[in-house]
Homo-oligomer: A and B are copies of this chain.
Amino acid sequence: MKFSVKTEYGLRALIDLASQATRKPVGAREIAARQDIPERFLEQQITALRKAGLVNSQRGAGGGCSLARLPEAITVLEVIEALDGPVMNMDCISQGGSDCRQSAHCVIQDLWLQSQLKLREYLGSVSIGDLVSRQGEKAGAGLTYTL
């Protein structure tokens, strides 16, 4: 019952991208170095993010990737589901799976669905933009201490 590091890497990469002033595409190599993430691994996650329509990427020399939307328009939920698949997707509630034996009136199925709903609701309410600005606040607060 935990999120994978893929999602952490993905979020960090998107935050990094959103924090860059430049409009030019940024290379995976560069992000990986800055965020201390295994390069070839991050590459794969970025590809997944592209397939999910969250980033654009340009191949070839001078290529790289950039956000496909405004940071405020990309939710954490989207990132997680792009990299980890559906959140809290128990076999019991995934339509394809071998249905609950209790089928129609299974209270546990309801419990899972409610949990899923709560979690998705929260994760869907936080955007990359939010994370960036929170990070800004924290960094600011940190500076006041060091003064």
Q: Measured between alpha carbons, how far is A138 from B8 in the docked complex, in Å?
A: 40
Q: Are the C-beta atoms of B3 and A88 separated by less than 8 Å?
A: yes
SS of A interface (majority): helix
Does A87 belong to the interface (CB within 8 Å)?
yes
B2 x A90 contact (CB < 8 A): yes
Q: Which of B1, B111, B123 contacts A89 (CB 8 A)?
A: B1
A95-147 residues with Cβ-Cβ distance < 8 A to B are: 101, 104-105, 107-108, 110-112, 114-115, 118-119, 122-123, 126, 131, 134-135, 138-139, 141-142
**A55, CB-defined interface residue at 8 Å:** no
The listed residue (B11, B85, B123) touching A115 by CB distance below 8 A is B123
Q: How far is the CA of A62 from the CA of B84 in the complex (A)?
A: 47
Q: Could you tell me the distance in whole angstroms from the C-beta of A141 to the nearest C-beta in chain B?
A: 8
How many residues from A make CB contacts under 8 Å with B? 42
Known: A76-B111, A110-B134. 12 other contacts (CB 8 A): A1-B1, A1-B85, A1-B88, A1-B89, A2-B88, A2-B90, A3-B112, A5-B91, A105-B139, A105-B142, A114-B122, A119-B119
B138 touches A105 (CB 8 A): yes
CA of A82 to CA of B1, assembled, Å:
13
Report whether A108 and B8 are in contact in the complex, using a CB–CB cutoff of 8 Å. yes
CB within 8 Å of B: which A35-88 residues: 36, 76, 80, 84-85, 87-88
